[in-house]
Structure formats: structure tokens, C-alpha cells
Amino acid sequence: MTAEAYLSRGVSPTKDDVKAAVSKQDQGLFPGSFCKIIEDPAGDPEWCAAFHADGAGTKSSLAYLMYSETSDPSWFRGIAQDSLVMNTDDLVAIGAIGPFFLSNTIGRNAHRIPGQILKEIISGYDEVIANFADYGVEIIMTGGETADVGDLVRTVICDCTLMTRLPRNRVINSANIIPGLDIVGLASTGQTTYEKHENSGISSNGLTAARHLLLDHSYAKQYPESYSETVPEDKVYVGSYRLEDQLPGSNLSIGQALLSPTRSYLPPVIAMLDQHREDIRAIIHCTGGGQVKCIDFSRGIRYVKNNLFPIPPLFKAILDTGEVEAKEMYQIFNMGHRIELYCRPQISSALIEIAASFNLEARIIGHTESCAGNRNEVQINDFSWTKLQD
């Protein structure tokens, strides 16, 4: 099943076409791992490396709306964290804990994105790097590129690339998911000890759908540069909220909730790996693909997720629009937790205790079972998805 709410707005929720395009590429040293792992550039046979690229996606369009409404360029500061964390937390899923080497790329339309916004984005990188350092995570800024590409970009794109090395015997490989494991989920909402504000849990996935499903159509007329002309008019900003409106069930406004900086799980996951790496079989970062992301990993596994967190207010507001089915929600959004650890049941309580020490809620959200045939299956409530594995 495809998520129509996403596809109709020019975005693929599952990226099956992208996966097909790269399916014949070399899978690296650890096929089936969450990120591709390559030979160590330094030539050490006991080490390996990973290069990873990602970004804030269309979240920058929301920052543009907030900036346009308030004349405050600082709304772009969190976009740097979104871009960075989408990389670091993919890399921690292979067991990488740094140091990380960062190069950022900004593509802007200079007619709409002045230097003061660039300054906020770059300062945002500096701020989040300093915050990581307080928790023992080393990120080294190596430079980057700012390109004026107004013929291609309506506002701004904020991406970055990270490189890191790690010993081969410390790799966490998602191909090693087996039946009989607990799945411990780490909440995407609330406020951890290393965050300055409450987090809505939105991260940097599903923003195209969230923006258009929640925000009032008047933004289409005010800011036509904030969306693609290829999106049908009846799919553009079809919601009932203004950015300053209160999000029901939350202390945040709609704008604040949609722009909540993507939470990093590096501090607690590093602590978990330090104490229990041998009993953690896999880590899945529930980004593109949402709660069904895990279906791509290992083989012959049924992922039973029968104890998810309550649906956070922002995702409930999206569901309440009636424009997207509940099943599609789980394909697009993290729905309450964005990192899940696949571990031996005897350490689940210890992982939950470590998370609590960071004021981060965690729980056993499900388990793995054997699935007949050469396929994987995900079960969430009354919904199920099946995928044949090559």
C-alpha cells in the first residue's frame, strides 16, 4: 500500500523507486546494515568507515513561513540540527559513536534567503555541535558549500554529510535481527535533559504531509513560493490552523510543534552501547518509512509492535483532519518513537533505566517472531505490511 497523502504531494513515503535504483550497488562490508559500511580509508583492516548524507528536507519551508510571518531569522537555527541529527542518528544505528566529521551544503534562492538566514543556519550547526560536546560526542566541522541555485530551489535546502570510523568488531548490523528479541522504543516527545524545550516528536520526516494537512489555505496565496506548482491546488494547505494557533493537547503552537528540532538519541544510545553493546542486536532509526522502516532489515522476521506510545498531539491533529488514514500514518510518521533497539529480553529494563536517566521515556514496544517464507512482516494494532526479501 502506498501513502496517498504523501504521493499526491510529490513525495514517496517508501521510496521504492529509489531502492530499486540502488539495488544493484555494492552493499559494503556488512550487507543488511542500516548504513553502508566501507573499508577504512586509513587502511586499518580491523577498522571500517561510513559516509552518510541527509538533510532537513522540506522542514526549511516551514522555517521560511515562520520567518516570513515574524521577520525573525532565528527560526532557521533549528534546521541545522535537523540536518545534522538525521545523519548522526542513522550512523549510531550501526554502532558509530564518533568522532564525526561534518561537511554542510546549503542551496538557496538568494532573492528570498538573505545572509542573515545563512548566519542562523551556520550558527545552528555550531550550537548543536557544542551541545553534543557537553555529552562527550565529538563532531568536527570541516567546512561546506553554499550555492545560489535560485533556478532550482524556491527557498533553501539544508543538507550535510558525515564521515566516521569504527572498529569492525563494534559494528551493529541490522541483518542480525532474529526472532525472540524485545523491541525497546525511545520516545520522540517530551523534554530530555539535553534539550532546551519540549519536543513535539515530528523530527524531519513527513513534513510535506504535515504542513499541507494542518495549515490553512491562506498560506498558499500569501507564500506560493513555499510549495511546488506541481501539487494540485486541492492538496495545498488544506488544514484549519494558523502557525500561531495552539496545538490541541500541547503547550506548543502549531508552528513551534512543526519546527521542533529533530531530537538526537546519541547521548542515551551511546550510554546503552557502552554497557550493553553485546546484547543489542540491531538499532533502527524510524525515519523514512516511519514505523514500517524495520521491514527492510533481516529476513524471515515478523515485527510485532503491540505496545506503542500513545499517539502524540501533533500526529493526532494530523489524523483528526481525516485526510490521511491511520494505516498511512504509520508509514509516514514515527508516531511517538524514532529509535528502536532490538535486544535480548534480559537487558530491556536496563536500557529503559538508562533512558530515564536522560529524562527520556522508553518502553518495550514489541518483539520479533519468526515469519514463514522469504519475507518480513510488520504488525501494528490491526494493520499489517508484508515484504518479500531478495
Where do we find the cell 494558523?
Answer: 242
User: Which alpha helices (H) appear in 26-58, and where do they start and end?
Assistant: none
Is the per-residue pLDDT at 2 higher than 80? Answer: no
Sign of CA dihedral 317, 318, 323, 325: negative
The model's confidence at residue 374, banded by pLDDT at 50, 70 and 90, is confident
C-beta separation of 287 from 205 below 8 A:
yes
Give yes or no for a cis peptide into 114 (omega within 30° of 0).
no
- pLDDT at position 373, please? 84
* Range with the poorest average pLDDT among 25-29, 193-197, 203-207, 366-370: 25-29
State how far the alpha carbon of 350 is from the alpha carbons of 40, 72, 280, 282, 291, in Å.
Answer: 33, 43, 12, 16, 23
Strand, coil or helix: 253: strand
Quote the pLDDT of residue 17.
Answer: 64
Class of residue 130 by CB neighbours under 10 A (exposed 0-12, middle 13-18, buried 19+)? exposed
pLDDT range class, residue 1, cuts 50, 70, 90 = very low
What was the pLDDT predicted at 13?
Answer: 57
Encode pLDDT of 284-319 as tens digits: 999 989 999 999 999 999 999 999 999 999 999 999
Sequence letter at residue 275: Q
Residues in the chain: 390
Local confidence band at 142 (pLDDT 50, 70, 90 cut-offs)? very high
Q: Quick one: pLDDT at residue 4?
A: 63
- Within 8 A by CB and 6+ apart from 157, the residues are 55, 60, 105, 106, 107, 108
Please state, as a whole number, how many other Cβ atoms lie within 10 Å of the Cβ of residue 301: 23
Mean pLDDT of the chain: 94
The SS3 call for residue 193 is coil
The residue among 282, 293, 263 whose CA lies nearest residue 183 is: 282
C-alpha cell at 150: 535560485
The contacts of residue 231 (CB under 8 Å, 6+ apart) are 8, 9, 10, 212
pLDDT, residue 23, reads 63
pLDDT score of 25 = 74
Amino acid 27: pLDDT? 85
Residue 101: strand, helix, or coil: strand
Domains and CATH numbers, the chain: 4-388 (3.90.650.10)
With beta carbons less than 8 A apart as the criterion, state whether 47 and 165 touch. yes
Instruction: For residue range 4-51, list pLDDT tens digits in order.
Output: 665 665 565 555 665 566 666 788 999 999 999 999 999 999 999 999
Tell me: the pLDDT tens digits for 149-165?
Answer: 999 999 999 999 999 99
Q: Residue 340: pLDDT above 60?
A: yes
Instruction: Give the whole-angstrom CA distance, residue 367 versus residue 88.
Output: 25
Per-residue pLDDT tens digits for 81-140: 999 999 999 999 999 999 999 999 999 999 999 999 999 999 999 999 999 999 999 999
Give pLDDT tens digits for 235-282. Answer: 999 999 999 999 999 999 999 999 999 999 999 999 999 999 999 999
